[in-house]
Amino acid sequence: MVSLSKRTALCRWFQAGLTVLVCLCTTGCWDSLEIEQRAMVLGLSVDIAQVPSDDSHFATERNTGNASESPRPLQVQGRPESEAATARATAKETARMPIRLTAQIPIPGRIPLGPGESGGGGANNPSQSVWVVHSTGETVTEALQCLQQQVADPLFFGHLRVIVVSREFAQKRGLSDLMDYLRRNPQVRRTLWILVSEHEAAKLLATAPPLKRVPTLYLISTMDQAIRLGKFPTEFLGVAESKVVMKGRDMVLPYVDVQHGETMLLQGMAFFRDYRLAGVVTGIPGVYTYMELCGIRQGGIVDRAQLPGGSWVVLQSYRRRRSIRLQMVQDQPVFDVYVHIDFHIHQTSGDPLNLSNPATLRLIERRESEKIISAQKDLIRRTQQAGSDIVGFGEFVRAYRPGWWDAHIQTKDRWREVYKTLPVHLHVKSRVRVYGMRAR
Amino acid sequence: MIHKTVYRHITVMEAVAIFIGSSFGIGILALPRMAVEAADTGAPLLTLCGLCLTLFGALLITLLARRFPNDTVVRAGERVIGKWPARLMGVCLAVFFILLTALGAREFTTVVAVAVLPRTPVEATTLVMLLLAASSVRNNFTSFAYIQLFYQPFLFIPSVLIPTLALKNAIFTNLLPLWGNGEGHWWAGMASVAALLQGGFVLGFLVPAMIEPRRMPQVLLWGGIFIGSVYLLFVIASLAVFGSMEIRNLMWPTLEMAKITMLPGEVLERLDAAFLAIWVTAAFAGLYTTYFIASLVIKDVLRFEDHAFLSWALLPFIFMAAMLPPNVVQVYRAMEWLGRIGLVLTIGYPLILLAVAWMRGVREERGLPEQADSTL
Amino acid sequence: MTLWSRWMKPKSGPRKQPLPPDKVLQEYKSQKFDGHVKKALRLIEEMLGENDDLVIRDFRVCQTHDAAAAYFANIVNRDTSNENIFRPLMDMKPSAARARLRGRALREVIVKEALHHEEVYLRTDMIEVIEDIMHGHTAVFVEGCDKVIVVDARMVPHRTPEQPYTEQVIRGARDGFVEQLSTNITLLRYRLQTPNFRIKMMKIGRLSRTKVAVCYVEGLVRPALVQEVLDRLKMIHVDGVLDAGTLEQFIEDNHWSPFPQVQNSERPDKCVASLLEGRIVILTDGTPFSLIVPAVFVQFYQTMDDYSERWLMASLVRLVRLVALIFSLVFPSIYVSIIAFNPELIPTNFAVAVAGGRAGVPFPAVVEVLVMEISMEVLREATLRLPQQVGGALSIVGVLIVGQSAVAAGFASPITVVIIALTTIGSFATPAYNAAIALRILRFVLTILAGFFGLYGVVVGLILISNHMLSLRSFGVPYLSPVVPMNMQGLKDALMRAPLWWMWRRPQQLDPIDSRRLAPGAARKLLSQNSNTLDPVKPRRLR
């Protein structure tokens, strides 16, 4: 019995050994690549190259805060209709618009390990801890290949957190091929942010406030904090990818700009029609209105309500609820959007105002509601003109009236036509909850 | 050689574990896409229907087992439809499960190659996977049950964790309408979903080794609940997160879902590679089952005493079959066809056996012997 | 040299070739003591005469009967032999009746009336007598007596039971086994005073003739298991058994597994606890280590402290130990696969910093980790062998200096040093040395696999290991047994340590005959009884 069990045990070990041996012999460390041998691309910027003819134009520079002045970017200030018109650019046009990529790669030795200040030199200046490389190419892949030729280590996109796209690029060329590349590449994360920059994207990527060790991480923390403070909805790449292919919805992306040459300003959002930028909403109320209509619970934006008699109140929303009612009137969808917002009052214009009076509070609430409704109307009108259903009314129709949808709509283009004249009735109810430590 | 007799020893819990382990495979990675392609937002409903189809197949096996509590499916077939027809069917089953093992391994290594090990040849990873399965297939049924039971937590924890964490980004309207927009091809979709669950055929070999074969319906119930809830959870979560249109764009939606989930506290920023690594256990459990079934079927057909040496004997064939499809498209097409054929075998065959047995009135003599005549 | 000299040396007559040791006794198998002292002594001379420490002391019993005592000089306690053997025998009152005594009658008079030493054996076979002399007993031959009287007056140097080094406890008994089997049995009997406590003795080793005691509690353990243990022990035909570890390697189930399938312990309280659970304890003469069979994996991270501390603390500590165990197994391999294969998993800040830390290191992570691991093992082995006074200093200094200078020299990144340190500390937290060593070896395998395949390789390796553990059996008990196959009663003492009143059954994987630990209803009574005598709320007269 012992001999038998011994034999089988020997067999088993022989097999285990064989397994390991085969592993070792048939394989090498094909995919092993040390972390410091990867050129970790933390941020990318995509512009339309100004000098398309010069294909072999490599520009490598150490970014030292006062980056070399690039040609002045195009200022595109058009009405949404014309923007939509330019969006219908042909493939031929695309070919004439080469891409200019800028990559931000951290320099390993420059970024200290651990919380202390003891590290390599340049730890105090975040802009010196990264290496900025430029390249151009007809497509993203070609541009990246061109980039790879300048960087010895293989580029690694596992930690790619931000792609800044210039408004010009998003408008003229569209994000279709860029997003296709991002979908295909297994290294790219879906929590990546695509930011649309008003001016040159490369410049935005180089903004380096001394708050973080790596400039890109500053951009990321800007976005993360914006979400936490209720300044912006969660619209990272994965969300945008889902929305852009939905039949009854379009994507929005954050719209940013450089301010004073060194900080990033989150100034609004860009809305898209398919993969092309269809317009931008700037200013706090625009984003705020979008978040209301989408029913994002987290509030946080401060707003000032003007009261009759010259006094005013500063309100901060902290919670919202939204419900949407869809009715079919004469076989056409009609929407009622009910938004309920809770406010804190942060500041008033001063003494004559008595908040402990319920009538005053009601007045404030009514004023604020009116203001919000007008902002919402404005947003819906603009998106209707652009044919970009960012709130996703179409999704509601598809979800709750599938019979009608299947009979009349079916495609995104047809929904877009319907959306342009879609009646949306807005109902806003504001509620002031508390007004701070002051009793009146 | 001494004729081995082994006591009945598989408990109900182990049987449930075997059933679950057989059904958790690599198919789950593509499941949401398959379901959405067939039924749009009706994917959860379709998955439920597919599960019902599978459970129906399992029920047939259970009924057969109730009639022949001491025989495996193959041996019961010999008693019902005669020796040679049953052997022929046995050969078909064996070939089917060999191919299923091969394609399962290939599918998994394709995922691995695309997602984490792009430069490692598929041959190497496939061979490692098959060697792992083959070295385990040598074990007897008890160890098979133990191994399946042991890996349950590693299947369930990520299957619950990842969809739940991903639900943070869910949009409710993505799930509506429940039956999907437009015309779906529901029957084909159901077949595809049910085809993922064909490892459940192992129940047909389980019965002679179970302590209480009468409690087989319980196994079916619990197994169905667990498998169904996890399958539905994956489909619902990925549908709610991505929407039906985006899922069509994603090769392996479940893996993408792991990509957007972040462990609380940001210990790991994305879970896809970790999920895939843990999912090796699921792939192993699935492969192990189909490989095991293939060797058991051959053992029964050829009346071998022991199936151990078959594990190495089958390995070259399985490896070659796994290497046949040239690209990922062909892998999935082959899976689809094989799955359809497999349904005919794994559901149709027990159905025919039951019908014939009922008409001819063949049934096992009552009472269970303490020892089962089997080397399981 | 021997070969050369043998060849060169001319054959000088028919020199008798010395027989191999175990053949010698065979030659004298048929020899019996027949009452002739001279003849017996000649035999003894012939066999043991070459030993210079053999003493043959002639004397006379009752002044009439010639007698002789044969023993080895140093192993016999002089006081005992003087006082208890020679004095009573020589002092026997001579009388006519006694002078006529022969055979059985003579023996009875000597043993029952004169010799007042308690441990006396009677032998007829000369082989047995010789074995007894070898064992350290004194053989007394009396002319005309029908049997040889063997008196146990052995004295072997021994130490007193003290706290075992390998299994220290915070709270619990401070005594440990010693080398003498008799002392060890004493320690067990002292703790377990049931009449069902059984000890089966046997001698193993053709030359060493080591005493082995198989201890169990009848009525708890299955007789088949006892028989199996005895059978396996009987199958050992080896020249010498010097330690319990030798025995362990002969009776374990799978000789090729890295995992120990027999538990060893120096603690009598642990042995008694195992006996009470329905296990079998094997004690070996000459070693303080006892063997406990059957053993399952969970035993290797349980300690006696777990049971003496309160259950919640004990469970937490056990959980910590389990985490340390898993850490020590997988930490380096996961580190390697994250660094070299999937750096996208860790947070970006950290990834950038890690890349900075590794920037100057010339080796791939897997080589770096392996080199550091090996040097750590060397350090550990070195401190183990060093004299204690030096060892402590060396270990601390060694770790500090090696780690610091490795980083300073650009030989390893600081994070690697941290990982290795955590791993090593983790492996020390495993109470059983032999289980820790198994995991330490497997850690290397996993690290190499990680170097080839990344996380995929690690998981494949872990699956291989767990499949092996799942197919492993110790005396038929599945190795991972309270967990798989699942057993709720066993699980109460596997990952956690349930309250003692809740663990009312013995571990079911051992299939004990009497499975109740706690008397029926005892737990309920325990929980309901709560009289609160000194409760201040109670009226004083009721207190």
* pLDDT tens string B192-201: 888 888 888 8
pLDDT beyond 80 at B371:
no
Q: Which of B366-375, C117-126, C330-339, C356-365 has the highest mean pLDDT?
A: C330-339
Do A212 and A300 fall into the same domain? no
* pLDDT tens string A47-102: 988 754 444 444 444 333 333 333 333 333 333 443 344 444 444 455 567 888 99
Task: Tell me how far apart the alpha carbons of residues C30 and A239 are, in angstroms, rounded to a whole number.
Answer: 96
Do A251 and A292 fall into the same domain? no
Do A298 and A332 fall into the same domain? yes
CA–CA min distance C528, chain B (Å): 34
CA dihedral (C452, C455, C461, C463) in degrees, to 10, reads -150
Helix (H/G/I), strand (E/B), else coil: B218:
helix
Task: Tell me how far apart the alpha carbons of residues B37 and B251 are, in angstroms, rounded to a whole number.
Answer: 12
pLDDT of residue C333: 93
Do A239 and A311 fall into the same domain? no
Q: Measuring CA to CA, which residue among A48, A55, A286, A40 is closest to residue A175?
A: A48
Cα separation of the two ends of chain C: 91
Q: Alpha helix locations (H) across C414-508?
A: 414-428, 433-453, 455-471, 488-491
| β A130-137/A99-106 pair status | antiparallel
The phi, psi pair for A118, rounded to 5°, reads: -75, 105
Final residue in a domain of this structure, among A282, A306, A331: A282
Final residue in a domain of this structure, among A282, A307, A323: A282
pLDDT of residue C129: 87
B149 or C349, higher pLDDT: B149
Please confirm whether the linkage preceding B253 is cis (ω < 30° from 0). no
pLDDT of residue B211: 83
Q: Which of B236-240, C4-8, C302-306, C537-541 has the highest mean pLDDT?
A: B236-240
* pLDDT tens string A181-191: 998 988 888 88
Task: Tell me how far apart the alpha carbons of residues B294 and B275 are, in angstroms, rounded to a whole number.
Answer: 28
Chain A interface mutation, best of B181, B252, B266, highest count of A Cβ atoms under 10 Å: B181
Do A243 and A300 fall into the same domain? no
What domains appear along chain B, each with residue ranges and CATH number?
Answer: 7-175+184-356 (1.20.1740.10)
Residue A96 CB partners (closer than 8 Å, separation 6+): A52
State the average pLDDT over residues A237-245: 89
What percent of chain B has pLDDT above 90? 26
Task: Tell me how far apart the alpha carbons of residues A306 and B302 are, in angstroms, rounded to a whole number.
Answer: 90
Estimate to the nearest angstrom the gap between the alpha carbon of A121 and the chain centroid.
Answer: 33
| β B6-7/B371-372 pair status | antiparallel
| Partner-chain contact B117 A27, CB within 8 Å | no
Task: Tell me how far apart the alpha carbons of residues B81 and B78 are, in angstroms, rounded to a whole number.
Answer: 6
State the average pLDDT over residues A99-111: 82
State the average pLDDT over residues C91-112: 80
State the average pLDDT over residues C351-359: 83
**Residues of B in Cβ contact (< 8 Å) with A7:** none
* pLDDT tens string C193-204: 999 999 999 999
pLDDT of residue A71: 38
**Residues of B in Cβ contact (< 8 Å) with C346:** 268-269
Give the count of domains, chain A: 2
* pLDDT tens string B100-110: 999 999 999 99
Q: How confident is the model at residue C271 (pLDDT cuts 50, 70, 90)?
A: very high
* pLDDT tens string A363-385: 888 888 988 899 899 999 988 98
Do A398 and A409 fall into the same domain? yes
In a domain, A223, yes or no: yes
In a domain, A72, yes or no: no
Do A333 and A382 fall into the same domain? yes
In a domain, A321, yes or no: yes
Give the nearest chain C residue to A114 (CA atoms): C353
pLDDT beyond 80 at C126:
yes
Residue type, C413: S
State the average pLDDT over residues A155-171: 89
State the average pLDDT over residues A208-217: 74
State the average pLDDT over residues C506-530: 83
Residue the block writes with tokens 């969809």: B163
Do A334 and A254 fall into the same domain? no
Q: Measuring CA to CA, which residue among A158, B284, B127 is closest to residue C340?
A: A158
CA–CA min distance A107, chain B (Å): 21
Average pLDDT, chain B: 85
Q: Which CATH number fits the domain that encloses residue A405?
A: 3.30.300.210
Give the nearest chain C residue to A106 (CA atoms): C352
Q: Name the burial class of residue C401, with classes exposed (0-12), middle (13-18) and buried (19+) by CB atoms within 10 angstroms of its CB.
A: exposed
Residue the block writes with tokens 């007045």: A363
Final residue in a domain of this structure, among A251, A266, A282: A282
| Partner-chain contact A23 C340, CB within 8 Å | no
CB A187 within 8 A of CB A71: no
pLDDT beyond 50 at B55:
yes
Residue B333 CB partners (closer than 8 Å, separation 6+): none
Do A218 and A84 fall into the same domain? yes
CB C147 within 8 A of CB C34: no
pLDDT beyond 90 at A225:
no
What percent of chain A has pLDDT above 70? 79
**DSSP one-letter string for C121-133:** EEE-BHHHHHHHH
| Partner-chain contact B177 A400, CB within 8 Å | yes
Farthest CA pair distance, chain C? 107
State the average pLDDT over residues B69-89: 85
pLDDT of residue C453: 86
CB C89 within 8 A of CB C63: no
Residue type, C540: R
Domain assignment of residue A356, given as a range: 285-434
pLDDT of residue B288: 92
At CB < 8 A and 24+ separation, what contacts does B245-248 make? B245/A242, B245/A245, B245/A246, B245/A247, B246/A241, B246/A242, B246/A245, B246/A246, B247/B32, B247/B33, B247/B36, B247/B43, B248/A245, B248/B33, B248/B36, B248/B37
CA dihedral (B70, B74, B80, B85) in degrees, to 10, reads -160
In a domain, A26, yes or no: no
Q: How confident is the model at residue A113 (pLDDT cuts 50, 70, 90)?
A: low
Q: Which of B104-108, B299-303, C111-115 has the highest mean pLDDT?
A: B104-108
In chain B, helix, strand, coil percent, each to 5?
75, 0, 20
State the average pLDDT over residues B328-345: 89
CA dihedral (C459, C463, C466, C471) in degrees, to 10, reads -170
CB B262 within 8 A of CB B270: yes
State the average pLDDT over residues A113-122: 50
Task: Tell me how far apart the alpha carbons of residues B238 and B165 are, in angstroms, rounded to a whole number.
Answer: 11
Of B125, B132, B139, the CB nearest to C463: B132
Do A300 and A270 fall into the same domain? no
* pLDDT tens string C174-189: 889 999 898 999 999 9
Q: How confident is the model at residue A28 (pLDDT cuts 50, 70, 90)?
A: low
pLDDT beyond 70 at B2:
no
Average pLDDT, chain A: 79
Of B129, B150, B270, the CB nearest to C484: B150
pLDDT of residue B99: 92
Q: Measuring CA to CA, which residue among A185, A191, A184, A135 is closest to residue A163?
A: A191
pLDDT beyond 50 at B5:
no
State the average pLDDT over residues B343-358: 88
Task: Tell me how far apart the alpha carbons of residues B213 and B366 are, in angstroms, rounded to a whole number.
Answer: 13
Residues of C with CB under 8 A from a CB of B: 341-342, 344-348, 453-456, 458-460, 463-464, 466-467, 470-471, 478, 480, 483-486
State the average pLDDT over residues C416-435: 86
B184 or C210, higher pLDDT: C210
pLDDT beyond 60 at A5:
no
| β A39-40/A155-156 pair status | parallel
pLDDT of residue A79: 38
| Cα torsion A72, A77, A82, A84: sign | positive
Task: Tell me how far apart the alpha carbons of residues C155 and B227 are, in angstroms, rounded to a whole number.
Answer: 70
Do A255 and A364 fall into the same domain? no
Confirm or reject contact between A392 and chain B (CB < 8 A). Answer: yes
pLDDT beyond 50 at C472:
yes
Do A355 and A424 fall into the same domain? yes
Residue type, B235: V
In a domain, A5, yes or no: no
Task: Tell me how far apart the alpha carbons of residues C504 and A263 are, in angstroms, rounded to a whole number.
Answer: 68
* pLDDT tens string A269-317: 899 988 889 888 887 778 888 888 888 888 777 888 888 888 888 888 8
